[in-house]
Amino acid sequence: MAVRPITIIGHKALHQPTKKVKEITPEVRTLVADMFDTLDAANGAGLAANQVGVRLRIFVYDCADDSGIDQRGVVINPVLEKGSVPPGDPSPEDGAEGCLSVPGEHFPTARSEWARVTGTDLDGNEVVVEGHGGTLARCLQHETDHLDGKLYVERLSPTYRTQAREAIKRRGWEAAHLTKWDPATQEAEKV
């Protein structure tokens, strides 16, 4: 399989809702295998299909559950259920979140302590993944947001949103017209 370039904030694929997968084709299987290779190369916790430029409702994940046990899988056509999001700014120690499409940055992001996604796997079997606090619950919400065309920086409180905008500007992603980065080489591509 292959490591695919990851789209960077500002790329239109990240800001549009994805399309439901109607059939598991050989191309979908290849996409999922490539997504796992890309996730591993980038050392990420999750990766949505639109982060590699494909507008399909699929994400892969590899992160610890509430017991600290590593969970790895794919969810096709996920539907998210979650608890309420606590009001106010999250604690910087507890709520730091990053994204492979906003490389190198982490900001406190308010998320529900509980989340569950239901969907299917590559064989059409029902998949239910649930997290109670910790990385898995955050990952499920983060990846489903991607599939809905939303980045975590859009969920930040006003204070952290300003910090994120400044960091993005400082890195020059918009000015340089960067659209993707390759986790295998760590190099960015220009438009």
Tell me whether residue 143 is one of the annotated catalytic residues: yes
User: Is 99 flagged in the annotation as binding?
Assistant: yes
57 CB contacts (<8 Å, ≥6 apart)? 18, 19, 20, 21, 49, 76, 77, 78, 147
User: Is 15 flagged in the annotation as binding?
Assistant: no
Q: What are phi and psi of 30, to 5 degrees?
A: -65, -45
> Could you give the 3-state DSSP secondary structure of residue 143?
helix
User: Is 11 flagged in the annotation as binding?
Assistant: no
Query: How many Cβ atoms are within 10 Å of 94's Cβ, its own excluded?
Result: 10
Catalytic residue among 27, 93, 143, 189: 143
Q: Which class for 88: exposed (0-12), middle (13-18), buried (19 or more C-beta within 10 A)? A: exposed
Catalytic residues: 143
- Residue stretches of the annotated binding site for Fe cation: 99, 142, 146
